[in-house]
Amino acid sequence: MTVDDSETLIYEKAFAAIKSAANVGAAIAALRDCYEEVAHVTYHHAQTIARGTAVDAPFVRTTYPDGWVARYLLKGYVTIDPIVREGLLRQLPFSWTEVDVGPECFELFSDFQTSGLSPNGYSIPVIDKVSRRALVSFNAHPHVTDWEGYLQRHQQDWAELAHTLHRKAVVELYGDKDPFPQISPRELETLYWISQGKESKDIAIILAISEHTVRTYMRSVRFKLDCANLSQAVAKAMALRLIRG
């Protein structure tokens, strides 16, 4: 069996483990166990929905020891963690060594390593079709001597597995009634320009489409957001963070 064949089998095993897991917590544990050089996996959903309104209530599942998680929260590291900060801003995956660490984070990283955890890691931002953001992070075993080489061999598979994990999280959070409607990019563009006070004829010029098509987008996006008028649709889209004012 070649190295490529072996890595394909690992990927397929990890994919099946995520799909069959009872929940996201079980899925990240199963994903971690498929990769011998990975010590921990964390899934961080940037926002959840409560009573139909977007709130800053992150959904986080991790395989880190309970003792470290408790210390992380007790010390308030969540407010300064540069990996989470960068991960929820960036578009592309990144190694932790790429992140600039300010003096305010020295205690965090020192504490992290003192707790027996490796400073080597890799994080994958996930942005789905309705602009929800999540972050999947892999933390290396402390004994790993060639993390970069291991990363090179698996990073493409990990990117796909991160999206599979995110889809599982969406189902766990929202069930079959996902509060985010499937709105097309053109519909979102139309709604954005409406939020900026533009009329249909102006939007038609901006988007280089007919005014009739703009009006069609206006009707469809209002319907998908279940709103009586466009003002309500704009307000709801902003609350769901589908557009920004």
Give the 3-state DSSP-derived string for the chain, with helices as H, strands as E and coil as C.
CCHHHHHHHHHHHHHHHHHHCCCHHHHHHHHHHHCCCEEEEEEEECCEEECCEEECCCEEEECCCHHHHHHHHHCCHHHCCHHHHHHCCCCCCEEHHHCCCCHHHHHHHHHHHHCCCCCCEEEEEEECCCCCEEEEEEEECCCCCCHHHHHHHHHHHHHHHHHHHHHHHHHHHHCCCCCCCCCCHHHHHHHHHHHCCCCHHHHHHHHCCCHHHHHHHHHHHHHHCCCCCHHHHHHHHHHCCCCCC
* Better-predicted residue by pLDDT, 56 or 121: 121
Q: What is the pTM of this model?
A: 0.74
| C-alpha separations of 199 from 84, 131, 174 in Å | 39, 25, 35
CATH code: domain 185-239 is 1.10.10.10
Domain boundaries, given as residue ranges, for the chain: 3-174, 185-239
Among 13-27, 33-47, 171-185, 194-208, the least confident range: 171-185
For the segment 32-82, what is each residue's pLDDT rounded down to a tens digit?
999 999 999 999 997 654 434 444 467 899 999 999 999 999 999 988 999
CATH entry, 3-174, from 3.30.1130.10, 1.20.1440.120, 3.90.1150.10, 3.30.450.80? 3.30.450.80
pLDDT band at 4 (very low <50, low <70, confident <90, very high): low
